[in-house]
Amino acid sequence: MFNKLLFHVLTATQGAAEHAANAAEHGASAEESHELPNLITLINKSFAHHYDALIYAGVVALFMIVVAVITYRKRQMIPGPLQNLVEMIVEGLYNLFESVMGKENARKFTPFLGTLFVYIWFMNLVGLIPLFKSSTSSINTTAALAITVFLYVQYTGIRRLGPWGYIHHLLGSPTDAVTWALAPINLPIHLVGELAKPFSLALRLFGNITGEDILIAAFVSLGIMFMGIFGSPIGFPFQIPFILLALLTSTIQALVFTMLSTIYFFMVMPHEEHH
Amino acid sequence: MDYQTALSFALPIAVSIAAIGSGLGLGKAVGSAMEAMGRQPEAAGKIQTGMIIGAAFIEALTIYALVGLLLLMGKIGG
């Protein structure tokens, strides 16, 4: 059964290469075609190919919802193992956000930012399970997350600073004649800076996770080719050290996305009360 | 030389040049952070957070080169 699976993997990889060639002829980008095939692409290459990221994002979200509901329903004074784990994650995240944005803001934003971290973390990690795919290795997923953060940050800015305060902030918070004179120069700089944030967030996560997945896929096919010399249908697991490395980078990239979002939130808030 | 040959030479070189720059930057950033942590171990947590964010900004430049490679890799063909 395992041999058959590997055969499928190998043929599907070749199919992906052909698909990339076809896509290149038609001028479309072939961003997902160099990765290992997953369950969806193995079942139906033509129909579900572009929806696999969406489906696995849904699977991860469903898993998170189920864990949250179970933990919430069965909460006790003396926590069981699951409740202990969830409490540990939530408390750790809360302490992290508190160290950046202060107590009140951390209380307000931990539900959003903490969910963001756990969601991205699980989406990164799920790609390391065979036949699963990291949804974050599709630019659509990361762009959606980054746009959500961008809109929420701007909303928070307008809400906390007021419309005029927000424009004042975009002008570089001018106070005297010199800074008011420089305000017209500051405005485009700030606007471009605000618009560059979601791009950099989305591209960083997408590039890291895609690079990681392509690296693993390349070493899997290298292992299959290497053992193919001896006529073995099972590949040599060259990818194991890179999977261990990917465990590390998945966590770090989720953390970086969340920390940068936290800092973007902190930057649009009025600053007097936090010092 | 057609554009496909030019691309297949240029893309890896572009990423490697970006990686050299990022490597120098990361080495400097992490080295300074480690020095600061060694001098002031009680502030290690704060320094580490700042270091990771800075490292993410430096590393992003290589990732942009990698994204450029991913976008143009389909044009090489084969």
pLDDT tens readout for residues A3-32: 444 444 444 444 444 444 444 444 433 344
A259:B49 CB<8 A: yes
* For B15, nearest residue in chain A (alpha carbons): A211
Residues of B whose CB is below 8 A from A21:
77-78
Rounded Cα distance, A1 and A55, in Å: 25
Tens of pLDDT along A118-137? Answer: 999 999 999 888 888 888 98
Query: Could you count the other beta carbons within 10 Å of the beta carbon of residue A68?
Result: 13
A112 token code pair: 């959003």
Burial class (CB in 10 A: 0-12, 13-18, 19+), A188: exposed
B60:A259 CB<8 A: no
Tens of pLDDT along A198-213? Answer: 998 999 999 999 888 8
Instruction: For residue B63, give the nearest of A20, A23, A208 by CB distance.
Output: A208
According to the model, what pLDDT value does residue A145 have? Answer: 95
Please give the mean pLDDT across all residues of chain A: 82
Burial class (CB in 10 A: 0-12, 13-18, 19+), A113: buried
Tens of pLDDT along B24-53? Answer: 999 999 999 999 999 999 988 888 888 888
